[in-house]
Amino acid sequence: MRNTAKITAAVLAAGALTLGLSACGSDKDSASDTSGPLVVAASPTPHAEILDYVKDNLAKDAGLDLEVKEFTDYVTPNTATEDGSVGANYFQTQPYLDDFNKKNGTHIVSVVDVHLEPLGLYSHKVKKADDLKSGATVAVPNDTVNEGRALQLLAANGIIGLKDGVGTAATPADITKNPKNLEFKELEAAQTPRSLDDVDAAVVNGNYAIEADLKPAQDALVLESAQGNPNSNLLAVKEGHEDDPRVKKLAKLLNSPEVKKFIEDKYAGAVLPSF
C-alpha cells in the first residue's frame, strides 16, 4: 500500500508564499534533521512512482527512511526545498533548475541524474505533423526552459525555424520561419494535455503525457530524441545538503540496476533511464 502524502498545488502555493524563500525554515525542518525521514518532493508521474518503488522495495535494506510528497506544479517543490519543508526534490531538469535559481535567488543543486522524459507533439485532430493546417494553434509550456525545449523540438523537425543559438531560452519571438503560420498558445505545462480538444496540437512534457494516458512512443507526432539530450530529470537538494547520508543513499538507489529495470519495464520507452 502506498503511503504518499498528496498535496494540491493551490494549498502548497499559498504555503510557499507564506514561508517565502527564507533559508532558515523551522528548527525541525526536513532538511536539517538528518536523523528523521528524508522527505522528497516529486511530480506524481513518473517521479513519485519511481520513488515509491524505491521506498517499497529498496529503502529498508539500505537503511533509508523515505517519505514522498506529491506536488502538481513546477514551482512549489523548489520553494519547499529552499525553505526546508522538504529535504530534496525530484521533478526537474538541469536547465530548468538553473533558470529557476537565477530568477528566484534559490540555492538548489543537482545530486544525480535519473531519467529522461521525451517531450512530444500530440494532437487529437491530425495524425501527422505535416497535416497541421495553415494558422493552426499549437499549445506550448509557458515556463522559460520547457517553452524553449518545445520550440526546439518543432525546429528540429522542420515545423518552424529559430534564430541560431537561442537554445532553451527560445520564445515565439525567436521564430524565423513559420511556413504554416502557426499560432502559439502558452499554457502552464500541466495544462497542455488538457488543451488537446481546444487546440490543433500541443507540446507536452513526458510526465504529463503519461498522466493523460498518452503513449509517447506511439502517440507523439514528433518526439524528442534521447541521444545527447541534456534534459535528464534529477534529484536535487538545497546547497550544503549534498553530503546528507540519506541523500547519498537515495542517489545510489535511484541509479541502481533495480530502478533501471523498473523504469524500462513500467514505461516502455516513455521514460528512459539516464544512467
Helix (H) or strand (E) holding 112: strand 108-116
Cα distances (angstroms) measured from residue 247 to each of 56, 62, 131, 220, 244: 17, 12, 48, 35, 5
Residue 144 has pLDDT above 90, yes or no: no
Amino acid identity, residue 269? G
pLDDT above 90 as % of the chain: 78
Closest to 130 (Cα-Cα) out of 158, 155, 152 = 158
Place of cell 538507489: 253
Intra-chain end-to-end CA distance of the chain, in Å: 28
pLDDT digits 0-9 by tens, 177-223: 999 999 999 999 999 999 999 999 999 998 899 889 999 989 999 99
Question: pTM of the entire structure?
Answer: 0.73
H helices within 159-215, ranges in order? 206-211
Q: What is the distance, to the nearest Å, from the Cα of residue 160 to the centroid of all Cα atoms in its chain?
A: 24
**Is residue 35 very low, low, confident or very high in pLDDT (cuts 50, 70, 90)?**
confident
- The crossing angle, in degrees rounded to 10, of helices 76-83 and 94-104 is 60
pLDDT at 207: 87
pLDDT at 85: 98
Residue 10 has pLDDT above 70, yes or no: no
Residue 230 has pLDDT above 90, yes or no: no
Average pLDDT over residues 244-266: 97
Place of cell 542517489: 251
Which residues in 108-132 are b (16+ Cβ under 10 Å) and which e? bebbbbbbbbbbbbbbeeeeebeeb
- Grid cell, residue 130, equals 505535416
C-beta separation of 121 from 153 below 8 A: yes
Higher pLDDT, 68 or 7: 68
For the chain, the farthest-separated pair of C-alpha atoms sits apart, in whole angstroms, at 60
Closest to 203 (Cα-Cα) out of 133, 146, 163 = 146
Average pLDDT over residues 31-47: 88
